């Protein structure tokens, strides 16, 4: 069950990340959609396979190979992170498009209202300087400068502002709780969205790589158990075959084999593996004891599986 959950989690995380990456590439290179889809899928699947290969073959890889693989994965992670950032940003912008339009219209109405209020204030100050008896002149001056129309426009702006503010509140509720968080923390909504997307991107790719390693770690013991069941008993096998099987399973080098068997000369170990010299029983027992010690966790897993089957 654990292995299945790990694998499903990996497929969900890596699949969503790959979809966003491929979608982002297709948006940039829309004229070559088929090629871009193949390239994007290949890169995402290749990234998972490289991480799995490095984890499984780490002891066999030399410094140059391991460094090269790590650099390749790092570049792929960087490219995917860029595409995911673009995808999330574009998705948020498309959702909040109406909200941004309403906010821009509201700001324009506020600026227009401020200008009209300033003009009305100037007119009032000018008319206040006229004698009180010049009523007809006051009326004429008001008509010349469209005083009544300016006041009517102010009333219209007030109604429109009220409607837009109500609509903006609804749009913010639809756009998600991030706006509520921004208001509580008293920060700009755009900054809050940028921080939120940044955290998502920083978590998504490392999580994908971590799940890849975890999935490999979960499935390797099962593969080893299957191989062990398919092999004949050690008593019926040639000692050289047993020694070579253990060396292959644990990726032992000649120097490591010599250290385990307390041999000063590595050529003796080479002759054992080349079948030019018989493998002593004492040597085989030492190697098997070392393998049993290394295989302790696998033995425990096997016991748990046996109990569950019963």
**Do residues 91 and 101 share a domain?**
no
CA distance linking residue 105 with residue 54, whole number of Å: 55
The mean pLDDT of the chain is 79
- Inter-residue long-range contacts of 17-23, CB under 8 Å, 24+ positions, other chains counted: 17/44, 17/80, 17/84, 17/204, 17/205, 17/208, 18/44, 18/45, 18/80, 20/83, 20/84, 20/87, 20/88, 21/79, 21/80, 21/83, 21/84, 21/87, 22/83, 23/83, 23/87
Residue-wise pLDDT tens digits, 222-262: 655 555 455 555 445 678 888 888 888 788 888 888 888 88
Residue 304 has what pLDDT? 46
**Do residues 67 and 145 share a domain?**
no
The model scores a pTM over 0.85: no
- Assess whether pLDDT exceeds 50 at residue 149: yes
220 belongs to a structural domain = no
What is the CATH classification number for the domain harbouring 290?
A: 1.10.260
CA distance linking residue 301 with residue 222, whole number of Å: 9
**Do residues 244 and 299 share a domain?**
yes
The residue range of the domain holding 131 is 97-175
Most confident of 55-59, 70-74, 123-127, 156-160: 70-74
Residue-wise pLDDT tens digits, 88-140: 888 777 766 677 787 788 888 888 888 888 877 877 777 666 565 555 666 66
Cα distances (Å, whole numbers) of residue 87 to 73, 77, 171, 217: 21, 15, 21, 32
- Assess whether pLDDT exceeds 80 at residue 212: yes
Residue 75 has what pLDDT? 92
- Assess whether pLDDT exceeds 70 at residue 30: yes
Number of other residues whose CB lies within 10 A of the CB of residue 200: 13
185 belongs to a structural domain = no
111 belongs to a structural domain = yes
308: confidence class by pLDDT, cuts 50, 70, 90? very low
CA distance linking residue 123 with residue 232, whole number of Å: 105
182 belongs to a structural domain = no
Mean pLDDT computed over 11-29: 86
**Do residues 13 and 155 share a domain?**
no
Residues 6+ apart with CB under 8 A from 47: 73, 76, 77, 80
Domain count, the chain: 3
218 belongs to a structural domain = no
**Do residues 78 and 208 share a domain?**
yes
125 belongs to a structural domain = yes
Residue 49 has what pLDDT? 92
């Amino acid at each position: 069950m654990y292995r299945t959950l790990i694998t499903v989690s990996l497929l969900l995380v890596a699949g969503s990340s790959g979809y966003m990456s491929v979608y982002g590439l297709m948006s940039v290179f829309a004229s070559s959609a088929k090629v871009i889809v193949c390239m994007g899928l290949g890169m995402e699947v290749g990234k998972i396979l490289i991480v799995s290969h490095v984890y499984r073959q780490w002891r066999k890889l030399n410094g140059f190979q391991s460094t090269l693989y790590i650099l390749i994965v790092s570049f792929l992670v960087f490219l995917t992170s860029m595409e995911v950032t673009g995808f999330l940003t574009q998705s948020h912008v498309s959702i909040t498009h109406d909200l941004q339009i309403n906010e821009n219209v509201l700001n324009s109405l506020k600026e227009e209202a401020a200008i009209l209020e300033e003009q009305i204030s100037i007119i009032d100050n000018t008319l206040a300087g006229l004698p009180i008896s010049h009523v007809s002149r006051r009326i004429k001056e008001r008509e010349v400068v469209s005083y009544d129309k300016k006041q009517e426009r102010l009333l219209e702006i007030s109604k429109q502002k009220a409607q837009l503010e109500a609509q903006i509140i609804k749009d913010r509720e639809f756009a998600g709780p991030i706006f509520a968080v921004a208001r509580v923390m008293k920060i700009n909504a755009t900054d809050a969205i940028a921080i939120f997307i940044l955290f998502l991107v920083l978590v998504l790719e490392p999580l994908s790589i971590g799940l890849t390693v975890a999935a490999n770690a979960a499935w390797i013991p099962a593969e080893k158990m299957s191989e062990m069941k398919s092999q004949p008993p050690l008593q019926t096998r040639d000692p050289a075959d047993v020694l070579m099987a253990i060396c292959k399973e644990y990726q032992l080098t000649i120097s490591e084999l010599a250290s385990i068997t307390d041999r000063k000369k590595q050529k003796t170990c080479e002759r054992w593996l080349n079948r030019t010299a018989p493998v002593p029983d004492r040597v085989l027992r030492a190697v098997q004891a070392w393998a049993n010690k290394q295989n302790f966790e696998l033995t425990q897993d096997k016991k748990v599986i046996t109990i569950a089957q019963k």
